Structure formats: C-alpha cells, structure tokens
Structure 1
Amino acid sequence: MKKIDKLIIQAFFGPFILTFAVVVFILLTVQMMNYVDQIFGKNLSYFDLGVLVMHFAIFQTPIAFPLSVMLASLMTFGNLGEHFELTAIKSAGISLVRAMRPIFIIVVFITIIAFFSNNYLVPNSALKAYSLLYDIRQKKPALDIEPGLFYGGIENYKIKVDKKLSDGKTLLGIIIYDHTEKSGNKEVTIADSGKMYTILNDQYLKFELFKGAHYTEEKGKPKRGRIYDYQQVGPFTRTFFEKSEIIFDLSSFAMSRTDEGLFASNRLMRNFNELSSDLDSLSDDILLAEGELYRVPGRYFAYSSAKNEIKVPEHIQELQKTEDSIKRVEAKHYEESKEEIIDKMNEKEIEDTLSVKINASSQKPSQRVKTALAKSQTITANPVQNKNNKKVEAKKTDTPVSSAKNTGKKQQPPKKNAKKNQQPPKKNQSTAIKKTNKKPQAKKKVLTNEEIINLIEEKYENKAQRSRILKSALATTRQAKSKLTVQNSRIDQLNKDYFEFDIQWHKMLATAIACLSMFLIGAPLGAIIKRGGLGFPVLVSILFFIIYYVISIGGEKYAKSGILPVYQGVWAANFILFPIGLFFLRQARNDARLFEMDYYKVAFSNFVIRVKKKAG
C-alpha cells in the first residue's frame, strides 16, 4: 500500500466513525422519543433499559450506514482540498479517481458489512427490541402513592394517605380498603400514622400502622320470607390496635417476558431467506384465493348462464388446469392400484387409504403433484408379489365347494345320461355375436334461455311458490355476494402482505447499495467544495439525505398501493442519485467551481455581454 493510500484511508476512518456514532445517536433519540411515555415510570432496571437501547441502536444502522458514508467522504475530501493536499496530489500526477480508489474499496467492504448486518443483526435486534418493548408496555407502573388520592395499583386494595413526609416512608392519615371478598367496602383499616417500605429485594411492601382500628362487616345469611327473600345483617366487628403490620405481595409489578416466537412472523424480524420463503407462500395463497373467487358463481348459480360470461384470467386458468390434471392423475392412479389394494388389504385398510386420498386433495397443487408421482413410482418399482415372488394375476374361479361336505366320500363317476345334458362348446365369441342394427338416437333439442324461462313460468304459476322461489334466489344471491366480499377482502389483505414483505426484501439490498451511491455524491462534492469540518459539509449531506429519504418513502408508498412495481419504488432513490453522483464526479475531475460565487458572477456577466452584443 502506498503512502498516499494510507493518508487518505486515515483521513476517512476518523470522520466515518464519528459521523456513524452521531447519526445512530440522532436516529436512536428520534426512535426512543416515540416510546418515552411507555418506558419511563415503570421502574425498569438499568440492564433492561440498556438492552433496549442497544437493540434499537442496531435497528437504526440500515439508515446510518449510507448517511455516514456520504458525510465522511465529503468531509475527507473537503479537508484534503481545504489544506491543499488534494492539489498536491493532483500536481504529483495522480488523478482524482485514483485518489478516491482506496476509499471506494473500503466503501465496498462497508456495503457488504451493511448487507450482512441487514440480513442477520437487524432482524434479530428488531425481534429482541420489540418483544422487550411489549413486555415493558404490559408492566405495571412503579409503586407511587400520592397524598390525597386513592391508589389502586395493588390488586384488591385501595390505599389513601393524607400526608407523606419528605423521607418517603412516613405516612399520616392512612385508610386501606380490602376488596378481596368482592363484596364492597366491608373491611376497612384506619390508622393515624405509619411507615411504608419494601422488603426481601422489593418483592413485598410492608405497612407498619400505629394507633388505628380495623372494621369488618361480615356477610349475613340469606333468609326466606313470606313475600320475598332477604339477607340478614351480619355481625359488625371493630378492633383497635396500637401497632399493626400489613404485607402486600408485589409480584404483579415484576416484568414477565413473553415468548419471542410470537413476534417472529413479522417482516421486520425476518432475514433474506425467510422473506423469500414467505413470498413464495403468499404467492401460492393469492393464487388459491383468486381461483376460489372465480369458482363462487358456478357453485351458487348452477343453472345460470352468467357464470359462462365471466372471463377468467390466464394464470387462474392455468391453475385450474393444473388442479384438474392432478385430479385426473390421482383418479387414474387409484383405478390402476384398486385391484392390487383389494388383494393385499382388508376393508378397513381400504377405507383408511381412501380417506388419505381424499385428504390429499386439500394439499397445494405442487405438493399434490409430488405425492401422486411418488405413489406411482413406488407401485411401479414394487409390484404386489405372492409368497413365491411371482406376480399375482386376477383369475375368474368357480364357486368353491366346501371341504367339509366332501370329507369321507368317494368321487362317483359321471352317469351316462349326463352326456345328453352336456352342451356343445361355444363358438368363437366374434362369430357368436349377432349383428344388431341400432337406430341412431335423435339429438336432444337445446333450449334457449327464453324457452327455459317460459317453461318455468308455465310450471310455476302459483304466486306463493313464485314468492318462495324468489326468496330462495335472493338468499342465494346474498350468500354469493357475502362470499365474494369476504374473498375479495382476503385477497386484498394477502396482496398487501405480499407487497410489504417484498418491499422489506428489496430494502435489505437497496439500503446496502445506497452506500455506493452516497459515496459517489460525497467524495466529488468534497473535492468541489474544498471545505472540511462539521459546517457546510453537514448541511450538504443533510440536504441530499433528505432527498434520498423522501424518494424512498414515496417509492415505498406507491409500491404498497400497487401503483409502481416494488423494485421501482424501493430502488428509485438509488436510480436517481447514482447519475447525480456520476455528474458530480465528472465536474470534480474538470475542477468545476459549482459552489463558488465568482463562478456564477463570471457566468452571469458573460451572459449579459452576449445579450448586449445581440441587441446591438
């Protein structure tokens, strides 16, 4: 490695690490501000809070990488240009592109790291962060008893204090209502003063009460009267005390962790391969739902010609053809293996086999094709054999004679008269068949819709019967409409999920490749501006990042609604900013002064001179 490469790389790493930390901190602050009310006031431990912040910080890295690359490259070449180091490099015969090469190689490695981070670290951190955030939301607020207010954070108890001293433990004017019996305010404890503190590692809350009384009204026994039933008044008990202790269980205030597997199906928690498999599953579900949608008219309107007028899309027709071919293969396979199954299995096993075949029809087309092919190959490779390893052939046999009847009897010779009863052998089957002249059947007349309607009207002239038919038709139409509405809603939701998962799949690549686009903008701009530090370069970087962010958000919005293809919506920012970066690179190679006022003053004066010459 040459010294100039070391110089440029050292000048790049410092700003990159600094800007990356600053960008992550800013994005993390914006993210955490959305959950301030849900996090604070829950008495979280520093460990849980630190884990939450760490995972949310990793979750912000997909946006932080491109912005920090652009800002660091702009600051690097801005510092080199401001201190005339870039001028010295050019005077040594080294071009700007050659000077940018070491940083470009580093940015390529950063792009690869960003992709692997998006694929592995970010989904895992999103899963950890949002599952922990959910548990924090479900956690009860910290114990906080305010003077003059009833506190109901402890289950089945209401606590009120008149005054709370500065030490946080001493209380005055204490009232405690016990609602464990769910019978109203029938058990009350009153004390002039007391102390409140936690014990056993904050698992229990202990009250020490002084100079008070405990009032209890027990529940009376029910009694039946002449007119109505009523309940007798129970005994009332009042107990005075100089000192009493009450201990409350605080286990409900502890945070319980939820199984992270419940959140793993969200698109933010899926990696590249999992998103691909999810997209395949969603695509199959959409095709099956659309095929079911076009089958509804045929089910509800069996005698209507409207179902024939519905144009089925080509991909749905292909799906239906695939399903029909699968059914034909299964039926053919069933007929071929029927005799072998009968010879090999008993009736109960046959019923089990038939039930398996019926259940197989509920599988997806791809799975059913594999199952049918596997069964046909298995039977072809292993035909049914007998004990002597010979193929079993179905033969027609006469009715067997019971062996019990023939036991102990000699076989008698045939009688002479039996010859008279014997019939001569039959001739060949082809010669025995008589020729029959069958008359061709007349073609059935196909009735038109009007003729069918006329026949129906002639047959059903009864108004009551017509009313029943109309009500039945109306109910059938409403059922079909409801079915179509539900099916359309399901298809819309499946399409929405498909677009969201597809957008997330493309974003993993697009945000990583954005590092290269941002480098092509930042490095030439730094060479053109020739200013380092955190002043003007930061403003320019923020400007281009806002452009990148707005284009990305707009593209994702159009992609979710289906206006644009997903790849166009997600990659639109890179497609737009990449040519702009090449333009800035061309201007930097030509030493253009795009950000100097003298350049525009000279250009304006030249324009005025040309206008005057043409006017004169």
Structure 2
Amino acid sequence: MKILDRYILVTYLKTFFSVFIILMFIFVLQTIWLYINELAGKDLDIWIVLKFLWFVSPRLIPLVLPLTILVTSLMVFGNFSENYEFAAMKSTGISLQRAMRSLTVFILLLSFTAFLFANNVIPWSEYKWQNLRRNIAQVSPSMVIAEGQFSQIGDDFNIKVGEKSGDRDQFLKDVVIHKKDPSRPNGNFTVIIADNGELASEEGSNTLSLILKDGNYYDDVQQKDPKKQLRQPFAKSYFEEYAINIDLTAFNNTDVEKENELSNQNMYKMSELFVEIDSLSVSYSKDIRLFSENMYYRSGVSKFSDYTKIDSVSTDTLETILNIFPKKRQAEIVDMALNNIKGTIQSVGSKKNEFKVKTKRLNKFEMALHDKYVLAFACIILFFVGAPLGAIIRKGGMGLPMVVAIVLFLTYHFIGIFAKNSAEDGTLHPFIATWLSTVIMLPLSVWLTYRATTDQGIFDIDSFVQRIGRLFGKKASDNELPE
C-alpha cells in the first residue's frame, strides 16, 4: 500500500469509528427512552439491563452503519477539499478515482461484512432481545397488566384495566376481572367489576394484594336441570372494598434466561427465509383454492353441471321456475336464497380479512429477505454519494456536512419506511418497496461522482446564467428586426 492510500484510509477510519461510536450512543439512548417503561421499577440487576441493551444494539446497525458511511465520507472528503489536499493530489496527476481506490476496497469489504452480519448476527440478537424482553415483562405483574386489554396473571385471573397511574402503576381504574374456579374448569363463571383498584404488597412478600373499591361481583349459578340453566341464573353482590390475594411465587421465580418459542421475520437467516416464504406461499395459494372451491359448491352451481347454458338463465326463466311452487313455498325459497347470499357475503368478508393478514405476513418475510441485500448495497451507494459531494462542497467538520448528511439520510430512510408500509398491505411489491430508496440514491451517486471527477460543481450557475442571457438576447434581437 502506498503512502497516499495509507494516509487516506487511516484518516477515513479514524473519522469512521468516531462517528460510528457517537451515532451508536445516540441510538442506544433512544432505545433506552423507548423501553424505559419495561426496565424501570423492576429491581433488575444492572447486568440484565446491559444485556438488554447488548441484544438490542445489532438491530440498530442497519440505521447506524449507512448513516456513518455517509457522514464520514462527507466530512473526510470535505476536509481534503477545504485544505486543498485534493488540489495538491491533482497537481501531481492523481485523480479523484485514484484517491478513492483504497476506500473503495474498504467499503466493499465493509459491505460484505454488513451482509454477513445482517444474515447471522441480527437474527440471533433479535431472538435474544425479544426473549429477554418477554421474560422481563413477567418480573412485575403491574407491567404485565396492560391498559385496554385482558392480561393474565397466574393461572386464575384475567385482568383488564382502563387506566393505570402512580409511580409504580399501582393505581387502577375501570377494573374488570375474570376469575377461574378450579372446581369449574369449563369456563370463567365469576366476573368482578370495580371503579378503582390498587396493587399493594409488603417488601419480600410472595403475595400481591389487589384492593378493589366500589364494584360488583357476578357469579354464574350452574344448574343441573337444563331447563333451569336456560334462564342463565347468576348471583350479584355489591362491595365497597374487596381484596384479592395473588400468589407471586411464579413471578418472583421468573427466569430471565428462559428460552421461549418466539418467531418473526427478523429472526430468520436467508436459508430459513427461503423455506418459510415458500411454505407461506404454498399455504396461501392452497387456502385461496380451497375457499374458492368451497364457495363454488355452496352456491349449488355444481348441481347444474349437466346444463351447458346455466349462465344464460334470464330473470323470466327464474320467475317461471318459482311459479311451479305454491305462493307460500315461493317466499320460503326467496328467503332461503337471500340468507344464503348474506352468509356468502359474510364468509367472503371474514376470509378477506384473514387473507389480508396472511398477505401482510408473507410480504414481511419477503422484505426481511431483501433487507439483508439492501444493507450491503446501501453502504456502497451512500459512500459514492457522500465522497464526491464532500469533494464538491469543500467543507469539512461537523457543521454543514452533518446537516447535508442528515437531510440525505432522512430522505433515504423515510422513502424506505413509506414504501415498506405500502408493501405490507399489498399496495407495492415487497421487492420494489425494499429496494426503492436505494435505487433512487443510485443515479444520484453516479451523477455526483461524475460531477466531482470532472471538477464541476453541483450546479453550473455561470453556464445557466449565460444560457438565460443568450435566450433573452435572442428574443430582443428578434423584436428589433425591421418589418
């Protein structure tokens, strides 16, 4: 390696690692801010918190690495231009392409490493993070109880609250509890509704007291006589204060290292994604085929397979067929047909929602597959956006280059987010949505590289002004011609 290549590479690497550490620190702080509710107030060891952050860090790389390359390229090449180092290189016959040679090799190696990282490390860390997150959620019952939905605590209670408050979320409003009875295992026969509640427990105790205030207690009465049971008898009582003791032994013995069965598209490697996508596609196609066949048989058309012109039956013909039956029977036939149509419409509507969910899941898996390739190509393309742009603007440091880099990266990132959101519901193909932002940046990188290597600015203002002047000058001369 020549001295010039070593100098450029070392300068780039120093800035690269500095920017990477700073950006990684910022994104980790953002992660702490997002998940502070899941970590605070649970008496977790600092080792568990650090492990949580360690597992969540790899999923930040697809954001941090491309931004780091863009910022570093702008800063380094802006410094070279600002300090006239590129001018000195060009005076000795060294072009911009030649100066970028060592960095191009580094970026290619880095892109390949990013691809391997996305294919191997990120799926592993995603599973570890989601697994640890679920185990941490079981440490504190107050965190398990979510607002606006039923949450199970232990084996006997399903609790729903409208609102939580307090420094430990111990105060509850609009509490609904479904209590299971071991002697009646076939359902939830006891319902407790209270306006307010409070979670209280003594330090070191394995019992949690749920104190309910101003509520009602409903208990279904099970009758042996089927006729009496049809009346659905129940017992109701009102209480001003009612305490429920919940055994916390299972929560206090929660193993945060326990391996749960978790699965989402970000936990798969490429080889596994190919298998999963193929399996989901086959299953999806099979479900559509079976549903269409089922609807065809339900319509009754298959019974008229011997009639070749069944599609051309007119309204008059149908009325003639109805006239064969008595008036009372005709009304029954019409009502039956209407009910069948309504049932078919409901069935199609429910299946439509089911297929929409399956389509969304399949699209997510396809996007997860392409994301592994996109990360590698994004590193290369953003380098060829940042490096020539830094040489053109001729400004280094953390000021203007940082602003330009953030604007470019936010544009790149937001295009990708909007495209992926559109792809989830089937508006865009997953392949197009995943590659769209990178493909948009590709011509920009080619154009900037061409402008920088030919010693041109982003816009040639002098040439633009001259062309405008010639245009107006030509119009003025045309107006001065004699008639």
TM over 0.5: yes
1:299 and 2:297 correspond: yes
Q: Is the 8 A contact 2:135 2:258 kept in 1?
A: no
Asked if 2 retains the 8 angstrom alpha-carbon contact of 1:525 and 1:584, the reply is yes
The residue type paired with residue 80 of structure 2 is L
Q: 1:457 to 1:268 in 2, by over 3 A?
A: same
Query: Are 2:357 and 1:493 equivalent residues in the alignment?
Result: yes
Do the aligned residues in 1 keep the contact of 2:448 with 2:458 (CA within 8 Å)? no
Q: Is the 8 A contact 1:73 1:522 kept in 2?
A: yes
Q: Is the 8 A contact 1:111 1:512 kept in 2?
A: yes
Amino acid at match of 2:275: S
What is the Cα deviation at residue 259 of structure 1? 5.2
| Partner in structure 2 of residue 18 of structure 1 | 18
Q: 1:293: how far off?
A: 2.6
| Cα displacement string for residues 128-147 of structure 1 (whole angstroms, at most 9, x for unaligned residues) | 112212222232179xxxxx
Deviations 1:291-316 (A, max 9, x none): 1232134322325799999xxxxxxx
Give the one of 391, 402, 416 matched to 1:538: 402
Is 2:385 the partner of 1:528? Answer: no
TM superposition shift of 1:79: 2.2
Aligned mates of 1:41, 1:473 — CA distance in 2? 61
Question: Which residue of 2 is the match for residue 268 of structure 1?
Answer: 266
Q: Residue 252 in 1 paired to residue 251 in 2? A: yes
* Counterpart residue identity of residue 105, structure 1: V
Superposition deviation, residue 253 in structure 1: 3.8
2:451 counterpart of 1:587: yes
Matching of residues 52-131 of structure 1 within 5 Å: 52-131=52-131
Contact 1:203 1:251 in 2 (8 A): no
Q: State the distance in 1 between where 2:305 and 2:413 align.
A: 48
Q: Distance in 2 between matches of 1:529 and 1:22?
A: 24
Distance in structure 1 (CA, Å) of the matches to 2:27 and 2:304: 58
SS in 2 for 1:76: helix
In the aligned structure 2, how far is the partner of 1:6 from the partner of 1:254?
A: 56
Distance in 1 between residues matched to 2:440 and 2:313, nearest whole Å: 61
Q: Does the 8 Å contact 2:131/2:260 carry over to 1?
A: no
Q: Offset at 1:464?
A: 4.5
How far did 1:61 drift? 0.4
Q: CA deviation at 1:115?
A: 0.7
Change (3 A) 1:83 1:495: same
Q: TM-score, normalised by structure 2?
A: 0.69
2:430 equivalent to 1:566: yes
Deviations 1:42-95 (A, max 9, x none): 111011100111111111001111111111122222222222222222112111
Name which of 285, 288, 297 aligns with 1:287. Answer: 285
Counterpart residue number, 1:513: 377
For normalisation by structure 1, the TM-score amounts to 0.55
Superposition pairs of residues 312-351 of structure 1, within 5 angstroms = none
1:262 shift after superposition = 2.1
Q: Is the 8 A contact 2:277 2:365 kept in 1?
A: yes
Residue 111 of structure 2 contacts residue 379 of structure 2 at CA under 8 Å; is this kept in 1?
A: yes
CA distance in 1, matches of 2:253, 2:456: 64
Unpaired runs of at least 5, structure 1: 143-152, 154-195, 206-247, 310-446
SS at match of 1:262: coil
Equivalent position SS for 1:526: helix
Residues 1:514 and 1:256: Cα distance change in structure 2 (over 3 Å)? same
Note if contact 2:115-2:376 (Cα within 8 Å) is conserved in structure 1: yes
CA distance in 2, matches of 1:67, 1:121: 20
Counterparts of residues 76-225 of structure 1 (less than 5 Å): 76-140=76-140
- Does the aligned pair in 1 maintain the 2:388–2:448 contact within 8 Å? yes
Structure 2 letter corresponding to 1:536: L
The aligned counterpart of 1:578 is 442
Determine the C-alpha separation between the residues in 2 that align with 1:554 and 1:90. 42
Is the 2:359–2:425 contact (alpha carbons within 8 Å) kept by the matching residues of 1?
no
- Report the Cα offset of residue 261 of structure 1: 4.4
